[in-house]
Structure 1
Amino acid sequence: MFGSCFPPVSARINTFLWALIFLTTFGLCSELKVRVRLADGQITEEVLEADSEKDSITLEFKQEDGTLITFVADFKQHVKIFRALILGELERGQSQYQALCFISHLNHNEFIPSESMARLRQKNPQSIRTAEERRGLDQLTMNVAVNLSQAWQLSSHIHNMCSEAREAIYTRERDVKHWLERGVEGSVFEILPQSVDVVPVLLSCRSTRDVWQPCSCSFSLRLEWYPCLLKYCRNRDTTGKGSPYKCGIKSCSKGYQFTYYVPHKQLCLWDEET
């Protein structure tokens, strides 16, 4: 549960019950480490960073299989970036790790503002957090590749985030249309081969036996805990008039499934039948 830095006296009585509180900060950047319970019951540590000057937030954690997930919400450009660093299977000819980046439009009110995130502080760092609301799964078809050298037109964060992915930076056609309408150059994007013409029958990688055949790969992740909404309380004065103040946040969990073209299954060995 979260609270405001300077709530009314009546609210301060319950301060000792709050797990997390807002504090007034003079710095533009902040970091918060939160222990989170994953769906399989294991515990991981999320690192949340907020930069109110750049108007962005970053969330990073390690999945149970060792995959490092980094998420950035760029509020200035209304762009969200997901990066996955996946440990390779050396015995099957893969490199030490594989980098993927997925980029999409950031909708209004998906996350709390960076300024509010920068004021979050944790009173009991050892507590294990579980999201108050478990939101549905977003299934995203990422059928367009993004040119890293031109990606600054979408967000200044992409180059640093996705430089290791380079040939594996993806977005959706519907987001491309949105950005083109706002003046982004077409050279930023390249339509990926689909089932028509280039690949007569594009199977899912899960159904493909030959590791050197092209296929449709799926990668899933879940942001298990993040502040998704500000809560407001109302303080009444002696005349009965109420004035709202920030008194906490609501935490959410949300899953994402990305589907995209790969030139051969060797780049998607995690997506196999079990």
Structure 2
Amino acid sequence: MFAGCICAASARILTRLCALVLVVAVGLGSELRVRVRLADGLVTEEVLEADSERDSIYLEFKQGDGTLITFVADFKQDVKIFRALILGELERGQNQYQALCFISRLNRNEIIPSESMARLRQKNPQAIRLAEERRGLEQLTMSAAVNLTRAWQLSSHIHNMCSEAREAIYTREADVKHWLDKGVDGSIFEVLPQTTEVPSFQACHSTKDLWQPCLCTYSLRLEWYPCLLKYCRSRDTTGKGSTYKCGIKSCSKGYHFTYYVPQKQLCLWDEET
């Protein structure tokens, strides 16, 4: 369990019942390591870090197949970034690993603020965490590519996060329109050769020729992350009530990305079984 220092006896009881609580003490590290169970039953360690100055949260873990998943929430720019470093199939002519980046808008109440994240600490680091809420799968059609050299206009995190995925950085049409309305330079984006309603290419899993263009899909799940703050009530000696932050609610959420690739060789995981 995660615990903090709260004076009132009733508050201490409530605190012990929470899986995570906010620590009000100053000077604690912003890194949190949490053990979680993946969908395939394997246990992995998530690393969560908060940067209050840059107003961002970083989450990273390794999947059972060796894929490294990284997620960044940039609250300053309201942008979220997913990166997957996928081990390549060398015997099939791939590189040692393949990098993908998916960028979209960060909505309110998706994850707790960075300042709150920075105050979390863990009392029992060996416990395996299970999310309190399993949120639905989000389907995202990534219809535009993002130019890495100009992507700083969207978020200062993109260059470091997506440098390995230079030719595989994707976003949605709706997000492109939003950013253009905010004055972002349109040269950042390149519309991919596909249509959303009626795809002009086959799905990669049904394409036999490794060198044919197709629509690739990639899925990932954040198995555990702090999605909402919890508030508790207390009363002082005069009986006056007040509320304070006393914990978090944890969530799990899946994402399913669909995007164009110029050849099936870049999407070998998406095959019929």
What secondary structure, in the 3-state scheme, does the structure 2 residue paired with 1:120 have? coil
The Cα shift of 1:40 comes to 1.9
- Structure 1 7/193 Cα, relative in aligned 2: closer, same or farther at 3 Å? farther
Is the CA contact 1:21–1:123 (under 8 Å) kept in the aligned structure 2?
no
Residue segments in structure 1 that go unaligned for 5+ positions in a row: none
State yes or no: 1:100 paired with 2:93.
no
1:183 alignment partner in structure 2: 183
Q: Give the match for residue 81 of structure 1.
A: 81
Q: Secondary structure of 2:226's partner?
A: strand
Matches of 1:144 and 1:27, distance apart in 2? 42
- 4+ residue runs of structure 1 moved beyond 6 angstroms? none
Are 2:109 and 1:109 equivalent residues in the alignment? yes
For structure 2, the 5+ residue unaligned runs are none
SS at match of 1:71: strand
Q: Select between 184-193 and 19-28 the one with higher mean Cα deviation.
A: 19-28
Is the 1:72–1:80 Cα contact (8 Å) retained in structure 2? yes
Amino acid at match of 2:226: P
What does 1:235-246 align with in structure 2 at a 5 Å threshold?
Answer: 235-246=234-245
Matched letter for residue 62 of structure 1: K
Relative distance call for 1:117 and 1:137 in structure 2 (3 A) is same
SS in 1 for 2:164: coil
**Structure 1 residue 246 displacement after superposition:** 0.8
Task: State TM-score, norm by structure 1.
Answer: 0.94
- Return the alpha-carbon distance in structure 2 between the equivalents of residues 51 and 24 of structure 1: 16
SS of structure 1 residue aligned to 2:137: strand
Q: CA RMSD in A?
A: 2.0
The whole-number CA distance in structure 1 between the counterparts of 2:105 and 2:223 is: 20
Question: How far apart in 2 are the matches of 1:44 and 1:261?
Answer: 31
TM-fit CA distance, 1:64: 1.1
Residues 213 and 265 in structure 1, CA contact (< 8 A), matched pair in contact too: yes
1:208 aligns with 2:207: yes
Specify the alignment match of 2:30 in structure 1: 30
User: May I ask how many residue pairs the two structures share in their alignment?
Assistant: 272
Work out the CA distance in 1 between the residues paired with 2:190 and 2:25.
43
Question: Once structures 1 and 2 are overlaid, which stretch shifts more, 156-165 or 24-33?
Answer: 24-33
2:57 corresponds to: 57
Query: Which position in structure 1 is the counterpart of 2:47?
Result: 47
Closer, same or farther in 2 for the Cα pair 1:206/1:266, shift >3 Å?
same
Contact 1:28-1:51 at 8 Å conserved across structures: no
SS at match of 1:213: coil
Residue in structure 2 matched with residue 263 of structure 1 by the alignment? 262
Task: State the match for 2:130 in structure 1.
Answer: 130
Q: Which moved more, 1:23-32 or 1:264-273?
A: 23-32
Counterparts of 2:169 and 2:28, CA distance in 1: 29
For 1:214-225, what aligned pairs fall within 5 Å after superposition?
Answer: 214-225=213-224
